[in-house]
Every structure is written in C-alpha cells, then in structure tokens.
C-alpha cells in the first residue's frame, strides 16, 4: 500500500482478503541490495502462499541421475541451494514467519501446485506463468526470449530418466534434462497471516 508520500506502508495481511496477485517484499539480497519480491497466489486459513516474482538463480536440477534417487528432488541441487544459500536472504525474524511445507521452509512448485493455484492450459502458452531473471547470481549467458523471460524448474521429475518438468520462457509446461544449465529457480514459501509485510501497489 502506498501512502500520500509515495512510501510503502506496512499492513496486516489478515485485514486485506482480496490479495491474490498482490506483490509483497520479503527478504533481502545483499549482493544486489534489493528486497525480494513475491506474488501472493493462495490463501489458506492463517497462512498465505508466496511465489517469487522472478527467477532468482540458475541451478541445475541434478548433476547426474543416480539409480538410488527414487525421490530425485529430495537430493537435488535445487533443494540444497534453497535450504542453504537461499535462506540467508532472510532475517531471524523473517525465518520465524515462514511456515514449513512438510520438511522444507522453501521449495519449488509442482505441476499439481500450478493446477491447484493457477489457471493452467496445457494446450497453449500461459502468460501468467512467465518470469524474468532478476539477480546478480546468474551465470553470464543465461538464456531468455526476446521479451526477457527465462525458464524455471518445477518439482516433478522422472526418476527413471534424466528429465524434470519446467516452465519455458513462453509459459509452456514442458521438460528439460536435469543437468540443463539454462533453467533457473523460482521459489515458493508459506508465511503466517498475522504478521506485517510490505505490500506493493502499482
């Protein structure tokens, strides 16, 4: 919310029920000296689901496929990055506001999540799924389309083969090799509703 002085005001999410699609700032990237920007995509009782507005880093899903990897995501490079380096973007106070999704505080969405929280059409481009990279963490040469949109991973994978689901730069849900270096990470987190956050109004 913006006040008369064009400054962001902190407001309670529970006092604003029509928040789907709203952007908020939560977390801080010291390398770019910018706050992390998220979109609210779901509300459930006393919590809200945030999805990063941007692709925040290029990370391979997995460096190689191992026969023992029945659950490829559990041992993936993505999960290692999110549960270690990425959590450093949050203060202790912010970490206390994040609600764990099972065992993980931060994760990537699955195909089922997209079907649950978004209007997905597998026969055409889904404009609302497109995302741009926005971070100093990207390797030089990370691929985007002419409009600046990139590819990012989804949680689904084929444990018998070396592929995982992605959203491509045009919003199509497809797949890529798990060691593809031109696919990035777009994280998601649940946070408690009874806290104050910075809402962004265009």
Please give the average per-residue pLDDT across 157-177, as a whole number.
89
Output phi, psi for 144, to 5 deg: -135, 165
Task: State whether residue 49 is helix, strand or coil.
Answer: strand
Q: Which two tokens mark 64?
A: 């190689």
Q: Which two tokens mark 46?
A: 């006393």
Taken in order 93, 95, 101, 102, the sign of the CA dihedral is negative
Residue 156 CA to residue 72 CA, distance in Å, equals 9
Q: What is the pLDDT of residues 79-90, one digit of tens each?
A: 999 999 999 999
Q: Which two tokens mark 13?
A: 């999410």
| pTM score, whole prediction | 0.84
Residue with more model confidence, 108 or 160: 108
Task: Give pLDDT, residue 195.
Answer: 53
* Percent residues over pLDDT 90 in the chain: 53
């Amino acid at each position: 919310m913006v006040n008369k002085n064009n400054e962001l005001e902190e407001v309670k999410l529970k006092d604003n029920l029509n928040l789907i699609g709203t952007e908020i700032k939560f977390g801080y990237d010291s390398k770019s000296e910018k706050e992390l920007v998220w979109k609210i995509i779901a509300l459930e009782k006393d919590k809200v689901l945030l999805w990063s507005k941007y692709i925040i880093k290029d990370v391979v899903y997995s460096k190689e496929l191992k026969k023992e990897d029945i659950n490829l995501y559990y041992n993936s490079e993505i999960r290692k990055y999110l549960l270690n380096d990425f959590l450093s973007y949050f203060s202790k106070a912010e970490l206390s506001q994040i609600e764990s999704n099972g065992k993980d505080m931060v994760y990537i969405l699955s195909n089922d999540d997209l079907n649950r929280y978004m209007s997905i059409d597998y026969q055409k481009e889904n404009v609302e799924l497109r995302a741009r990279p926005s971070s100093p963490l990207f390797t030089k040469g990370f691929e985007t389309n002419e409009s600046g949109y990139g590819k990012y991973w989804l949680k689904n994978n084929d444990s018998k083969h070396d592929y995982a689901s992605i959203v491509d730069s045009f919003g199509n849900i497809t797949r890529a090799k798990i060691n593809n270096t031109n696919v990035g990470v777009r994280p998601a987190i649940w946070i408690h509703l009874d806290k104050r956050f910075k809402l962004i109004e265009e």
